Chains A and B, each alone.
Chain A
Amino acid sequence: MFCEWQSTAAKRYQRTMLVDMLSYVLILYGVEAFVRRHHPVGTELYALAALPSIPIIAVLVAVGIYLRDEKDEYQRDLMVKCMLWGTAGVLALTTFLSFLHSFGWAGSAPPFTEFVTFWLLVAAAKGYYKLTNRPEREDEVA
């Protein structure tokens, strides 16, 4: 698993993701501390809520750059398939929650449920494809 060969685009993608995620954690803690101290409202609150989205935008851009630069069509196709599974799952979830609200449900899902669901589904699809696309052993083929 750790000796898996990776393309240059994949390596760059992983490096960028790591930097993005680290900056996400730093920004999120910084903003949260600021909000707890100053209790902003209105435009200030909107601006502060947008700040942690910046590393996430960077992650999405990194995915886009990876999909553009990846030479291995199979790997690119695999990444796209996994993301589409995530998209379908999240759309189904948000629509279901919206129907619940329309029909009188007063509750609400915890924040970021959809985002976490998206990445969980992407990871599940990736794991599934990794398992099912494993080449058969020679003795099994024979």
Chain B
Amino acid sequence: MLSPVARKFRKTSLSVLASYFVLFPAADYLAQRIHPAGTKLWLLAGVPLLPLLIVFVLMGYYLRDEKDEYKRDLMVRCLLWGTGAGVLANLFFGYMRVFGWKGQLFPFTEFFVFMLAVLAAKFSYRAADRVPADE
């Protein structure tokens, strides 16, 4: 069962993420039309980042306000698994480039690695911590 704080976090973050699906296509459309460079390009790239930053802040509030220590600990663990995986992916491709690799990663690779690791950790904890039906 979701705690009230978790419900609030889910509801707010989903509505914030919905704005991402408006801001990103809009920024992308503008970028394709006006081909910005320099400061304009940097500012435009900052626009779709805003909802994600708000979600990070909401996550911080959730971690602060969640009363259930077990759930908070679980969330933190999943986030740390995500951090580990993201950092490793980033380092590995950093070394590849240092050692002469000319390829380029897909945009958002580290972000997807982070999210996948968080989800994998969440499911593995859910599977491992399940209470047997007869208890």
Contact = CB atoms under 8 A, between A and B. Distances in A.
A57 B88 contact: yes
A6 to B, nearest CB: 21
Where chain A touches its partner, the secondary structure class is helix
Interface stretch (A10-18, A41-49, A126-134): A41-49
B127 to A, nearest CB: 19
B45 A99 contact: yes
A115 B87 contact: yes
B52 A35 contact: no
Nearest to B53: A92
A71 interface: no
Interface residues of B, number: 46
Given A103-B27, A114-B110, A94 B87 contact: no
Nearest to B76: A80
A87 B83 contact: yes
B31 A104 contact: yes
Contact of A56 (B48, B83, B88): B88
A49 B87 contact: no
A98 B94 contact: no
A64 B84 CA distance: 10
Contacts of A99: 27, 44-46, 48-49, 107
26 contacts: A40-B99, A45-B96, A45-B101, A49-B92, A49-B93, A53-B92, A56-B91, A87-B79, A87-B80, A87-B82, A88-B60, A90-B83, A90-B86, A90-B87, A92-B52, A94-B108, A95-B108, A96-B45, A98-B108, A99-B107, A102-B45, A102-B107, A103-B31, A104-B31, A108-B104, A115-B94
